């Protein structure tokens, strides 16, 4: 797939000329930032989207320093009901249209579902389920009309199995995998690609943000670097793959998760995912669970 800088500008039906850009949600750190670096290396101008403006600016400056592409940053909470309008306004201001969309931003939740703060669960669904769905619905008509471009959705191996103690997060990734594979089939004939990526455990701040660092999966399962997941994601997208499971171990896990009966798998997942918070800190963690999002809450 061409870098966006190699593609011609587009004239819309209203006569406005726009240039292509890759939009990366959660592009300020972790896997999103690593994907942004790779897309920039391939000649794509970038719009990085996340909540914290300072982290975004740092990420954008780091990418600019290594690549001769334009990197813009938009501080935006994607759980906002007007996030599409705000994104569109920024794209219009920049004179751009999304040629590539990377749906990467997500939050987790660790602990008993029945003890979770309802607002935190709403935020998880708004970010992990509603935002990627709305963004895809928003950008796909333009991509289909231009007969090009595509979407990379970052899901998780967790999308292949129910995950007790991370129940809402695992369910959100199951939705994303199902939606992605279905949309990939719908838009293939229009020359548009949809690739869903299902990484296993990756070494980012994601786990600490949901206070899951003491869970056995963090100790027992191998982790990948964000850079390696990004390479799998971008290469898989370039090859037109609909599903990418990065690495041999994760591929074996994905097959096992798909073939094994849930009656066997779910208790194992419960053992791996239990956050194992110390009993004497139970009250503190109740408070943390009730605190609307652990450290993932950024109020504006
Ligand atoms: N880490 C893993 O082990 C792992 C494994 C499998 C799949 N994944 C998936 O990979 C993706 C990236 O994970 P990661 O580990 O790189 O996470 P991360 O390091 O925690 O980064 C999350 C990114 O999302 C942004 N974000 C969070 N809430 C947002 C909101 N409401 N609106 C806009 N942006 C928001 C964050 O920036 P701000 O906080 O500034 O908004 C940050 O840029 C996620 O979809 C995750 O589910 C991760």
> Is 217 designated active site?
no
Nearest ligand 1 atom, CA 30: 16
**Residue of 1, 49, 50 whose CA lies nearest to 23:** 49
State pLDDT tens for residues 105-148.
999 999 999 999 999 999 999 999 999 999 999 999 999 999 99
Per-residue pLDDT for 28 more than 50? yes
- Which residue's structure tokens are 């966006």? 4
Kindly give the distance from the C-alpha atom of residue 148 to the centroid of ligand 1, in angstroms, as a whole number: 27
Of 160, 165, 169, 217, the active-site residue reads: 169
Average pLDDT over every residue of 61-65: 98
State pLDDT tens for residues 139-178.
999 999 999 999 999 999 999 999 999 999 999 999 999 9
Number of neighbours of residue 38 by Cβ within 10 angstroms: 16
| Lookup: tokens for 52 | 């914290």
| Lookup: tokens for 42 | 């391939």
| Lookup: tokens for 189 | 């004939």
| Lookup: tokens for 262 | 């849930």
CB-CB contact of 142 with 151 (8 Å): no
Plot region of 18 (φ>0 → left; ψ -120 to 50 → alpha; else → beta): beta
Number of domains in the chain: 1
Enumerate residues 6+ apart whose C-beta is below 8 A from 126: 78, 79
Q: Name the packing angle between helices 167-187 and 118-125 (round to 10°).
A: 20
Kindly give the distance from the C-alpha atom of residue 239 to the centroid of ligand 1, in angstroms, as a whole number: 25
Binding pocket residue ranges, ligand 1, CB within 6 Å: 25-26, 28-32, 49-52, 55, 77-79, 104-107, 127, 154, 156, 199, 201-202, 204-206, 209, 226, 298
Predicted local confidence at residue 284, as pLDDT = 42
Q: Which domain holds residue 86?
A: 4-296
Confidence of residue 103 (pLDDT cuts 50, 70, 90): very high
Plot region of 31 (φ>0 → left; ψ -120 to 50 → alpha; else → beta): alpha
- Which residue's structure tokens are 């850079």? 227
Kindly give the distance from the C-alpha atom of residue 51 to the centroid of ligand 1, in angstroms, as a whole number: 11
Question: What distance in Å separates the CA atoms of residue 225 and residue 250, rounded to the nearest whole number?
Answer: 13
- Which residue's structure tokens are 């003890």? 115
Per-residue pLDDT for 23 more than 80? yes
Average pLDDT over every residue of 6-12: 70
Kindly state the helix (H) or strand (E) to which residue 243 belongs, with its residue range.
Answer: strand 243-244
The residue length of the chain stands at 300
Kindly give the distance from the C-alpha atom of residue 106 to the centroid of ligand 1, in angstroms, as a whole number: 4
Enumerate residues 6+ apart whose C-beta is below 8 A from 89: none
For residue 188, what is the domain's CATH number? 3.40.50.720
Predicted local confidence at residue 4, as pLDDT = 58
Eight-state DSSP code of residue 278: -
* Mean of pLDDT over the chain: 92
Question: What distance in Å separates the CA atoms of residue 47 and residue 280, rounded to the nearest whole number?
Answer: 45
* Ligand 1 mutation pick, 23, 26, 155, 294, max ligand atoms within 8 A of CB: 26
- Measured by CA distance, the residue closest to atom 33 of ligand 1 is 50
Residue by residue, DSSP assigns the chain as: ---GGGSPPEE-TTS-EEEEEEEEETTTSHHHHHHHHHHHHTT--EEEEES-HHHHHHHHHHHHHH-SS-EEEEE--TTSTTHHHHHHHHHHHHTEEEEEEEE-------S-GGGS-HHHHHHHHIIIIIHHHHHHHHHHHHHHHHT--EEEEE--GGGGS--TTSHHHHHHHHHHHHHHHHHHHHHGGGT-EEEEE----BSSTHHHHTT-TTSHHHHHS--B-HHHHHHHHHHHHHTT-SEE--SHHHHHHHHHHHHS-HHHHHHHHHHHH-----GGGHHHHHHHHTTSSGGG----
């Amino acid at each position: 797939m061409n870098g966006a800088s190699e593609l011609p500008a587009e004239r819309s039906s209203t006569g406005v000329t726009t240039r292509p850009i890759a939009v990366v949600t959660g592009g300020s750190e972790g896997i999103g930032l690593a994907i942004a670096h790779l897309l920039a290396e391939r000649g794509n101008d970038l719009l990085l989207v996340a909540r914290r403006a300072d982290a975004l600016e740092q990420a954008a400056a780091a990418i600019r320093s290594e690549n001769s592409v334009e990197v813009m940053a938009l501080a935006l909470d994607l759980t906002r009901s007007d996030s599409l309008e705000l994104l569109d306004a920024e794209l219009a201001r920049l004179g751009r249209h999304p040629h590539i969309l990377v749906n990467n931003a997500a939050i987790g939740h660790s602990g008993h579902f029945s003890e979770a703060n309802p607002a935190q669960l709403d935020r998880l669904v708004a970010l992990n389920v509603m935002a990627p769905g709305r963004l895809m619905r928003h950008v796909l008509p333009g991509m289909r009309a231009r007969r090009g471009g595509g979407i990379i959705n970052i899901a998780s191996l967790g999308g292949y199995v129910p995950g007790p103690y991370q129940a809402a997060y695992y369910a959100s990734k199951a939705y994303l995998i199902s939606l992605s594979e279905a949309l990939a089939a719908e838009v293939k004939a229009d020359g548009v690609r949809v690739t869903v990526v299902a990484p296993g455990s990756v070494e980012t701040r994601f786990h600490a943000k949901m206070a899951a660092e003491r869970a056995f999966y963090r100790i027992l399962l191998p982790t990948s670097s964000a850079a390696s997941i990004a390479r799998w994601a971008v290469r898989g997208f370039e090859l037109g793959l609909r599903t990418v499971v990065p690495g041999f171990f994760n591929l074996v896990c994905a097959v096992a998760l798909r073939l094994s009966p849930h009656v066997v798998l779910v208790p194992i997942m419960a053992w791996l995912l239990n956050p194992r918070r110390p009993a004497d800190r139970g009250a503190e963690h109740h408070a943390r669970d009730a605190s609307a999002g652990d450290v993932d809450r950024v109020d504006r």
